[in-house]
Amino acid sequence: MINLPKPRGYYGPEEYFEDISEERTPIRLIDYNESAELAKVSDNGFVNPGGLTEAVRHFLLVASIREEREQKKNHNSMLIHVSQLTKGHKGLFKLVDQYFKVLKTKILNNDSVILNLLKKEYNEIMLHSDKWNDRRSSVNTWEKVLESIKNNLGKVEIIMLNGESEDTLDYPSYNEVGKHVIVIGGNKISRGLTLEGLIVSYYARPTKIMDTLMQMARWFGYRESYIDLCRVYITKELAEQFSDIANAMIEIRIELEEMDKNGKTPSEFAIKMKSHPTMILTSKLKMQNARFGMVNYEGKLVQTRNFGNKKKFFENNMKATSSLLAPLEKKMVISGDGKKLSYHLFSEVRASAIKDFLESYETINSYRADSKLMKKYIEYANSINELEKWSVIVVEGYEGGYKVELPNISIKNAIYRRKNEFNNYGDGHPDIKALVSGNNEEFLDLTLNKNNLADASRATNRGRRSETDGLLLIYPLNPNVPTFKGIDVEFTSKLVPIGIAVSFPFSKKNMGEHLYLYNKSIKTQHDEVRL
């Protein structure tokens, strides 16, 4: 196995995502709610996608700036990919087409508001471009770029590429003048298809598989003469996932160099690959020889969404929950009014009690939340004097009237999820999508200490929690909903589905080599500490 050097002029995940806060980054974060709305917009739907409209304007600006760099014959492409489902592409196409027509009219009529906005965005592009080896030097004035924009408006083609469309990409016919195209689509453009001169990408399609995510990153490639102009509009969650993958790729290259230096082959050298708490490296079939060292849950919220379909599963988790709560002293009850949840808070819980609970509690679909891997992570954190103190919150609902009997607690309303929030995934196990609905319960222990968390992101708020403190949230769920009705289990007040969420703080120390996947068919020098 040979580690080929990166070719000159190639820009891959390291350049785009290794440090998304770096001042030269092409990444522009878009609001998650906007991307979710665009993924399901209908033919007659209306959304106000500020990130998408900015991306379209950037495409116009950058295509014209490239012409001023004597790249007049170069193709310029924009990618819009928010869903693989073709039924949403028509609505998205209509939305983009309508916005472009309005934008075109305003520019040609010298609308002062839109021209001032474009000039402001042009100046921001130039300031950013200055960070890349003086690439701005070949660019003329704003007036010259605006003239070029007006000339290019008629060249822009908006097309839809999916299994139902008849549109095609035809770059060769435009080799003398350069093709300007905005491409909207799904799987056809997510992998395999080359988009010439890709300068702007609006990407918001989530996936939990690392190699699939990498294949859909169409913006990687040779961008030597215009990397400073490229932009990727993406959600914060996806950007962080790409950043994690980029750093994992850097490390695996180091592994390959180490193998080569030692004169070893892959059958002799167990290459390690950094694991991830919410993503898997590839499909389960391809990972049959993968062995977990430890998953890094640092700074993450991990929540169960999948449940078993046998009575024994629910009995086991009810028993584990009762065993955890029985010896605890109730510290505080925070009552909700109206449509507000109530919370039963236990503080200063020993880490040993949490680990015993996770050892007993059973999880389904371990790539999302694995109780045994969480326990293993806590054990390692304890060895470096972290995650030693815990808070446990049992969450109570405000409707439904389903009572739950637990030690030290009287639950009048189990947590109720409405019908459209449930779905069964492939193998017949109930899937409730999500437990934690907002910041309230995850950071309840912090708000009690008079921390103002209202305007901060979840990641920022997790950074405010001490590395010694963890939070376990327990959700007794109302079984009188379609998802749980679909399994052959007779629920009672003494037997309900128990969901959990764990909020992990950031570590103050390096988690080291424990946080990797290995080939289990090869013995490594680290086997003792990982088994």
Confidence (pLDDT) at 419: 45
Tokens for 464? 């405010």
- The shares of helix, strand and coil residues in the chain, as percent rounded to the nearest 5, are 35, 20, 45
Tokens for 209? 């598989």
Give the residue among 190, 286, 298, 225 at the shortest CA–CA distance from 69.
225
How far apart CA 467 and CA 386 sit, in angstroms, is 6
Confidence (pLDDT) at 240: 75
Q: Are 345 and 444 in contact (CB under 8 A)?
A: yes
Express each pLDDT in 243-277 by its tens digit.
777 767 777 777 788 778 878 777 766 666 666 65
Q: Residue 29: which region, alpha, beta or left (left: phi > 0; alpha: psi -120 to 50)?
A: beta
Look at the chain and count its residues.
Answer: 531
Q: Where are the domains of the chain?
A: 10-244, 301-503
Letter string b/e over residues 483-501, b meaning 16 or more CB atoms within 10 A of that residue's CB: bbeebebebeeebbbbbbb
How far apart CA 301 and CA 473 sit, in angstroms, is 10
Tell me how far CA of residue 250 lies from CA of 257, 262, 367, in angstroms: 11, 19, 23
Express each pLDDT in 486-514 by its tens digit.
788 999 999 999 999 999 998 887 554 44
Q: Where are the alpha helices (DSSP H) in 130-209?
A: 142-152, 187-190
351: which residues sit within 8 A by CB, 6+ positions away?
A: 378, 382, 387, 388, 389, 390, 470
Q: Are 467 and 386 in contact (CB under 8 A)?
A: yes
Amino acid residing at 260? D
Could you list the mean pLDDT of each consecutive 10-residue stretch along the chain, which spans 531 residues? 81 73 78 71 60 93 86 86 72 88 95 95 89 64 92 91 70 85 75 80 73 70 85 83 73 78 73 60 59 71 86 96 92 81 92 96 75 89 93 92 91 76 52 72 77 65 87 94 85 95 85 54 42 24
Confidence (pLDDT) at 191: 59
Q: Are 390 and 470 in contact (CB under 8 A)?
A: yes
